[in-house]
Amino acid sequence: MRNKIFAFTLSGLFGFTGSFAQTGKMRVRAVMQDHVPIAAGSVIFPLLKDTVVIDTTNYPGVEIDITQKGRELFYYSWGDWKSRVYRYPEGGVTDTLVELAAPDTTYYASFVKRKICPLCLSGKNIIPVVYGFPSPELFKKAGKGKVYLAGCVISEVRQSLYCRKDDFVF
């Protein structure tokens, strides 16, 4: 089932389209509701600490080989907005078209509720995200790795947990 994609200018939601081939290469591009390409954002491969930037130099899309070890796990990000995390097991690439919605708050809600990182699937390294100007006590807690200080600006998508292992806010 495909996620419903709303107009970027109205609600801040957009989609990401990918084409998967038997070769394991994926052609991807960020799109708005009317499938108008957006020249912005990144495909993030957290296992490799690698990023493929989508911008005007590779507009309207990029080709990514997900058969490379570590590229089977990825998500799309634009600012604070993230798509769901996609996992493709070895040989799991099919010839299909996918639209990724960002922000995918429904997907992350189940991980937040269970306090489990969507990347490593563990709850061991999860700490709360704190917004606002921190007190001296909060600075101490952050220094000890007990809380993640997110700053004073709260975006439309309020992320509440942080995984220390994966350096991932969700």
Distances (CA, A) of 141 to 60, 123, 151: 44, 19, 15
- pTM of the predicted structure, to 2 decimals: 0.71
DSSP E strands, the chain: 14-20, 25-31, 37-38, 42-45, 50-53, 62-65, 73-78, 81-82, 86-87, 97-102, 126-131, 148-151, 161-163, 168-169
Quick: pLDDT tens for 28-67: 666 554 555 666 788 899 999 998 887 767 665 667 777 7
Is it the case that residue 124 has pLDDT exceeding 60? yes
Contact 50, 24 (CB under 8 A): no
Domain residue extents for the chain: 8-103, 117-169
- Tokens at residue 121, please? 């699937």
